[in-house]
């Protein structure tokens, strides 16, 4: 628990710092991009410096993409929690997920019958699912399979079962498994840290799982990973079951999506 708390605090400070830097950086990038594009328009494409200018433009565009992601990670986010059936939420995302992972990867969808409800912001589910599926896609070299499952589960102190992080209560579980590259122990230890990535420059930001971690914490949930090199990876996310009756949804503002350790 202490480790998790430290992790959350670290993410909060890193997130704040990243947000501030990204904001200033973005302003300067606008200047670079504006001038580069103006110069490109006025320059004869046959001039040798034209190609260099194009490279500058492309790099600045990539930097702008990255700062946008950083700002998204750090921004004050307004969440509007609603009572949801995750089977319906995920079913509604399948077309988008198919598009994200491409044609060589089979996507299996296994929704549990009589799934309990959760209360959370539906765009956070979109973010979780998209990030997990993109990671699974990246871990699969060529052809492979991703399985998305849902389920009800109860962690009870008295029943002798092993509980993730000592949690007690009813949870709705989302599981995303892939038969991709998997991870070794050393990698697994760092995956939820902001900016940790094993992907090449321009491909990974290292913010996907940090964002998911923040969302899960904000909703008093849990996240677990099981992974083995060359076998594959399974992410399990547990979100507390919603037991009350539906109240009118009142939007509330969270200071950020990842500071509720």
**Which one of 180, 208, 214, 232 is in contact with Mg ion (CB under 5 A)?**
208
Neighbours of 1 (CB within 10 A): 8
Region binding Mg ion by CB under 5 A among candidate stretches 25-33, 60-68, 127-135, 219-227: 127-135
By a kind-dependent CB cut-off of 5 to 8 A, residue 206 interacts, out of ligand ADP, Mg ion, none, with: ligand ADP
Those residues whose C-beta lies under 8 Å from the C-beta of residue 87, and which sit 6 or more positions away, are 111, 112, 115, 150
**Which one of 8, 93, 105, 136 is in contact with ligand ADP (CB under 6 A)?**
136
Using the minimum distance from each CB to ligand ADP, give the nearer residue, 74 or 84. 74
Neighbours of 108 (CB within 10 A): 10
The secondary structure of the chain in percent helix, strand, coil, rounded to multiples of 5, reads 45, 20, 35
What is the number of alpha carbons within 13 Å of residue 224 lying toward its C-beta? 12
Binding flags for ligand ADP, 207-236, as an x/- string (CB under 6 A): xxxx----------------------x---
Provide the 8-state DSSP code for 116.
P
| Binding status of residue 135 toward Mg ion by CB under 5 A | yes
Rg (CA), the chain: 21
In angstroms, give the least distance from the CB of 197 to Mg ion.
Answer: 8
In angstroms, give the least distance from the CB of 206 to Mg ion.
Answer: 8
The answer to whether 118 and 173 have CB atoms below 8 angstroms apart is no
Using the minimum distance from each CB to ligand ADP, give the nearer residue, 192 or 242. 192
Give dist(CA 65, CA 249) in Å, integer.
Answer: 33
By a kind-dependent CB cut-off of 5 to 8 A, residue 196 interacts, out of Mg ion, ligand ADP, none, with: ligand ADP
Using the minimum distance from each CB to Mg ion, give the nearer residue, 208 or 221. 208
In angstroms, give the least distance from the CB of 235 to ligand ADP.
Answer: 7
In angstroms, give the least distance from the CB of 209 to ligand ADP.
Answer: 3
Using the minimum distance from each CB to Mg ion, give the nearer residue, 182 or 208. 208
By a kind-dependent CB cut-off of 5 to 8 A, residue 136 interacts, out of Mg ion, ligand ADP, none, with: ligand ADP
Give, in order, the Cα–Cα distances in Å from 61 to each of 40, 151, 188.
14, 42, 31
* Matching residue, tokens 């913010």: 207
Q: What does the angle CA 153 – CA 155 – CA 161 come to, to the nearest 5 degrees? A: 110
Give dist(CA 103, CA 107) in Å, integer.
Answer: 9
Using the minimum distance from each CB to ligand ADP, give the nearer residue, 164 or 204. 204
The answer to whether 97 and 134 have CB atoms below 8 angstroms apart is no
Binding flags for ligand ADP, 173-212, as an x/- string (CB under 6 A): -----x-xxxx---x---x----xxxx----xxxxxxx--
**Which one of 60, 133, 139, 148 is in contact with ligand ADP (CB under 6 A)?**
139
Interface residues with ligand ADP (CB under 6 A) are 131, 135-136, 139, 178, 180-183, 187, 191, 196-199, 204-210, 233
């Amino acid at each position: 628990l202490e480790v998790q708390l430290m992790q959350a605090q670290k993410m909060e400070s890193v997130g704040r710092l990243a947000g501030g830097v990204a904001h200033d950086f973005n302003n300067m990038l606008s200047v670079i991009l504006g001038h580069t594009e103006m110069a490109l328009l006025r320059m004869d494409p046959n001039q040798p410096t034209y190609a260099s200018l194009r490279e500058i433009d492309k790099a600045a565009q990539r930097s702008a993409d990255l700062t946008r992601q950083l700002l998204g990670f750090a921004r004050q986010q307004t969440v509007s929690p609603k009572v949801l059936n995750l089977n319906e939420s995920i079913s509604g995302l399948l077309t988008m997920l198919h598009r994200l992972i491409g044609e060589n990867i089979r996507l299996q969808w296994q929704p549990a019958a009589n799934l309990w409800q959760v209360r959370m912001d539906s765009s956070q589910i979109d973010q979780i699912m998209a990030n997990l599926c993109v990671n699974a896609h990246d871990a699969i070299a060529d052809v492979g399979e991703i399985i998305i499952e849902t389920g009800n589960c109860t962690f009870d102190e008295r029943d002798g079962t092993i509980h993730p992080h000592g949690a007690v209560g009813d949870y709705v579980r989302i599981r995303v498994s892939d038969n991709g590259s998997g991870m070794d122990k050393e990698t697994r230890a760092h995956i939820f840290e902001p900016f940790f990535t094993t992907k090449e420059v321009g491909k990974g930001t290292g913010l996907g799982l940090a964002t998911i971690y923040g969302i899960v914490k904000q909703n008093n949930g849990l996240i677990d990973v099981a992974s083995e090199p060359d076998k594959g990876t399974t992410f399990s996310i547990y979100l507390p079951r919603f037991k009350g009756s539906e109240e009118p949804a009142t939007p509330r503002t969270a200071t950020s999506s990842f500071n509720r350790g």
